[in-house]
Structure formats: structure tokens, C-alpha cells
Structure 1
Amino acid sequence: MAHQSEIDERVRVYYGGLFDEDARLTTRSAQGPLEHRRTQELIAEHISTGRVLDIGGGTGIHARTLRERGFEVVLIDPVPEHVTAAAASGVEALLGDARSLPFADGSFDAVLLLGPLYHLASREERLQALREAKRVTRAGGFVFAAALSRYVAFGANVLGRSVRSDAALRALWEQGVPLAGDRFPAGHFHTAEELAEEVADAALEVLAVHGVEGPSGLALEGVPADRTDLTEAALVLARATSAEPGIRDFSAHLLAVARVG
């Protein structure tokens, strides 16, 4: 397992210049708009007004959508380039870390944690981020916590390739440990059940864990973003299978919806 300080630095380098996070959710492929729309739908099922903290909010795609719906949004991210881009688009944005938030207890009606968990290698680090999200959310408010599917990560490394059995693949399958050498600075891959467990262990009430894009989301990775017909079809399937055990793990992204007691 990589040391967390190494992953933190790789996150800054990756998102600071190697990868365009803004394009990922908008123009890179049809998968991005699918992920964005379905995530926003799941959020809208639980909140309709208030103050929202977007932790690890990148360039502000989700923050801007929420602002357009009338929310007051604050974005915090560890990548300076993301903070600059978000602020330039009109989002209140500041540099910071999910594990130590510069906000008072109960400052927000809802918190989005849509990226940090899958860049944190140890369970304790992830619990720290979840506890911080809970701390700054008022009683009765909501926390939306995303993770990357372990099944999808495993499939990406074995399907269509020569069959192999080694300790690294076993660690990925059994423990969610990323394979060494990947450009993406992953810290951990979750199962839906493990994500629910960690959120509950942070003293949050888990309402559901959803597969965001649904089982056809991965197919849209190679489809142009303007194929809205295919996005709409994928949305129908994603909605129908969203919380089905097993099927939800075929989504690249998992989303836990939790409430603060």
C-alpha cells in the first residue's frame, strides 16, 4: 500500500496538469454527463434548499449546478488549479483537505464528499474525512459520499487480458488495494457494502448506497458526450437498478446517502 503523503502529492500533480477534471464531467465522453446528472438527481431526492459544502469539488461542476438550483455552495479542494478554476466561474472556493475542515460544527445543511474517499488509502483516513463531513453538517442534514467500485477496478485489470493470479490482484479483489504503476492516484476501491460500513462507523445514518451510472455507464466511456440519446437510455437503466445489491457495483461510482442524527 502506498504511503498517503505520496498519494496526496500524486493527486496534486494528476489533477493539476495531467488530467482535465472539468472535461471529465462535461465533454470527455457520454459517461461524464451521465455521472453528473444521476449524482444531481440523487442529491435532489434529499435536499432542495440550504447551504452546501462541496469537499474535493474539483473545478466546481457540481457546485455550479447546485448554485443554479438556488443553493449557497462553498467548495474546498486540495488542488490549487481546481480552486482557481472554480473561483473564476463564480463559486466560493478555497484550498483545503477533507480530513481537516476549517469550518465550525453544524455549518452546513449538506456535504458532498464526491472524490476524497477514493484517494485515501487507509480506513482510518477515510473515517476521518467522513467524521469531518459529519461534524460540519447540522443535525438532520445529509452527507453524500462517493467511492470507486472495486468490481469495476478489478474487471478493468483482468477482462480481455491473459489470466493471471498474483498477490497484487488478490489484494485488489479482497481489500481494494490499487495496483502499483497506475497513473490515476487511487487510494482505495470499495464494495457497496464496505462503503456503507465505513459511513455507518463514522456515526452517520446510512439511508442507501447507489450505483451512480448503472451497468451501462462504462459503455459510454467511448461514446461522444453529445450522444444524449444514449445518455437518456443509460439513465433509465441506472435509475431502475440504482440500489440493487450486486448490480450497483457495476457502476464505476458508488454513492452513499447518509443523514446526521
Structure 2
Amino acid sequence: MTAEDQNDIDARIQTYYGEVFDEHVRLTTRSAQGPLEFQRTQEIIREHAPSGRVLDVGGGAGIHSRALMDAGYAVEMIDPVLRHVEQAQAVGVSAAVGDARSLAFEDDSFDAAILLGPLYHLASRDERVASLLESARVVRPGGVVLAAGLSRYVAFGAASLGRPVPSPIPGEWAALIADGTPSSGLRFPAGHFHTSEELAAEVADAGLDVIDVFGVEGPAGLLLESAGDVPNDVRDAALTVARAASAAPGIRDQSAHLLAVARVPA
């Protein structure tokens, strides 16, 4: 992956989130999966960062930032997309345009940092680790960093299931499952798809002590994404399964989103 390729992804991020896709509705009303993802992500954040000052890196429309503020956290948010910053500011979040790879904050300024989007928009492992290093730099010793990835298992399923499987396997499918390389035809500006183990290794390479990697939505998340409106008992069952399966190796990769939790060494 060259710098020019990443520059292309960065430009596509601006177009996709600025003009095409509304990140706000993804977590609220677009499907039943969004509220499940939101609730489980909030649960994991609050369990491991119980109080303090939080930096929301790549915070989108500010949905998570606003919820944490309502729970008593002091939150600062950055995002590379001006539309997101304006949406967050409209609901009272302190937000500014910024880049996960270069944070304009002093060392040890926060008790926690959350990166719920940057890593899967960065194609290079070096840049992903660099963004984790930046978040670790601005979090005090003993504080926590929570970093999300998109599941490679789920991405491969989306590309290959429900259709005839060609033989030989297409090269792009092989690159996706072997290396996490996104297919070329995606509208979504993906840079990389993770396994849980790879995400943990990248977090560790940034000098952080990995606590665990959690699957966020659980195996039923894809059902909620594709089924439209579903009864409350199905939503409740999906939440129960998501909680039960969140840390099970292999099973956690059946969640669309993976969330690594790590501590800055004291």
C-alpha cells in the first residue's frame, strides 16, 4: 500500500461520509443492528473507562461522545470529516477536525481514548500502529485505549455467501481472507479488515497492554442488519447472545465490529 493509495482512501472518506452516507442514522434508525452496536459499544467503554476525560478519535456524528457526556464523562472529539464535526457540535459535543495519525493534544491529557473508526480506514499496518501510538501518547499511564476493527470473517462472508462460489477462488477473495485487503469494488472506503488476533497484535505493537478483544454485535448482528424491523424479543435475544459471545475466540469474529481494550503501561 503506497501513500498515494492511502491518499485515495482519505479522499473517498470525505466524499462517502460528507456527501453519500449519514453516519448518524447508522447507529440510530437505519437498522436494528445500529442500536445493538451502539449499546454494546457503550457497555464495553463504560466497563473499562468508568470515569474521566475521554478523547473520541474519529467520532463520526458524535453519537458516542454525546452519550458519554450524558453519563458524566468529559469528552473531546475529533474527526476528519467537517460534516461529522458540525453534527457533533450541534448536539453540544466539543469537536474539531483532526486526524488520528497526528493528534493536537499534549501527552497524558486524557484518561481514555476511543478509536471506533480510524483503524479500518487505514490500509497500512504502520499507519494503524502510528494512530494507536498517538492515542497512547495522549492518555495518561494507567488509562485505557479502546480501538475498533471490522471483522475479516464477516467481510468475507458478505463477499462470498449466498452466491455461487467460483473455482478457482478469485484473487481478491483470497487477499481479503488471507491479508484483510478490501475488494476493489467497495463503495465503502475500507482500508483493512481485521481478525481479533491481528487487532490485538497491532495494539500490543503500539506498546499497550491488551486486556481483551471483544466482538460487539455478536453472531445475530447481521440478522438485525438485514432483516429490517424485528420484534423486541428478537432484539433482546441478539443482545443476550452478543454479551455471551463477546470474548469467545473465533465466535467474537462473527461480530461485524471488533473492539480491542488496552491499558497504557504505568
**Cα distance, 1:100 vs. partner?**
0.1
Instruction: Measure the CA separation in 1 of the matches of 2:188 and 2:257.
Output: 15
Where do residues 200-219 of structure 1 align in structure 2 (5 Å cutoff)? 200-219=204-223
**Cα distance, 1:227 vs. partner?**
4.4
Q: Is the 8 A contact 2:154 2:253 kept in 1?
A: yes
Match of 1:247 among 222, 235, 251: 251
Per-residue deviation, residues 206-226 of structure 1 (Å, max 9, x unmatched) = 000000000001100134467
Letter in 2 for 1:13: T
Equivalent position of 1:167 in the other structure: 171
Match of 2:31 among 29, 36, 39: 29
Measured on the aligned residues, the alpha-carbon RMSD in Å equals 1.1
Match of 2:183 among 179, 185, 188: 179
Instruction: Measure the CA separation in 2 of the matches of 1:228 and 1:41.
Output: 20
Q: Is the 8 A contact 1:33 1:225 kept in 2?
A: no
Equivalent position of 2:118 in the other structure: 116
Q: Which runs of 5+ in 2 are unaligned?
A: none
The 4+ residue runs of structure 1 with deviation greater than 6 A are none
Equivalent position of 1:139 in the other structure: 141
Q: Which runs of 5+ in 1 are unaligned?
A: none
- The yes-or-no answer on 1:232 pairing with 2:239 is no
Letter in 1 for 2:22: D
Instruction: Measure the CA separation in 1 of the matches of 2:31 and 2:188.
Output: 18
Distance 1:72 1:227, change over 3 A: farther
Instruction: Measure the CA separation in 1 of the matches of 2:73 and 2:136.
Output: 19
Where do residues 7-22 of structure 1 align in structure 2 (5 Å cutoff)? 7-22=9-24
**Cα distance, 1:231 vs. partner?**
2.3
Q: Is the 8 A contact 2:212 2:247 kept in 1?
A: yes
Equivalent position of 2:62 in the other structure: 60
Instruction: Measure the CA separation in 1 of the matches of 2:158 and 2:121.
Output: 18
For 1:29, what is the secondary structure of its paired residue? coil
> 230-239 or 175-184, which moves further after superposition?
230-239
Distance 1:111 1:51, change over 3 A: same
Instruction: Measure the CA separation in 2 of the matches of 1:137 and 1:11.
Output: 26
> 250-259 or 160-169, which moves further after superposition?
160-169
**Cα distance, 1:167 vs. partner?**
1.5
Letter in 2 for 1:232: D
Instruction: Measure the CA separation in 2 of the matches of 1:242 and 1:31.
Output: 15
TM-score normalized by structure 1? 0.98
Q: Is the 8 A contact 2:107 2:139 kept in 1?
A: yes
Q: Is the 8 A contact 2:224 2:230 kept in 1?
A: no
Instruction: Measure the CA separation in 2 of the matches of 1:156 and 1:68.
Output: 35
Distance 1:228 1:67, change over 3 A: farther
Distance 1:51 1:227, change over 3 A: farther
**Cα distance, 1:48 vs. partner?**
2.0
Identity across matched positions, percent: 62
> 103-112 or 163-172, which moves further after superposition?
163-172
**Cα distance, 1:83 vs. partner?**
0.3
**Cα distance, 1:145 vs. partner?**
0.2
Per-residue deviation, residues 122-163 of structure 1 (Å, max 9, x unmatched) = 000100100001000000000000000000000101101121
Instruction: Measure the CA separation in 1 of the matches of 2:263 and 2:182.
Output: 29
Letter in 2 for 1:58: G
For 1:214, what is the secondary structure of its paired residue? coil
Match of 1:149 among 120, 143, 151: 151
Q: Is the 8 A contact 1:32 1:225 kept in 2?
A: no
Q: Is the 8 A contact 1:127 1:198 kept in 2?
A: yes
Instruction: Measure the CA separation in 2 of the matches of 1:98 and 1:40.
Output: 21
For 1:112, what is the secondary structure of its paired residue? strand
Per-residue deviation, residues 213-244 of structure 1 (Å, max 9, x unmatched) = 00001100134467443222111001111110
Equivalent position of 1:197 in the other structure: 201
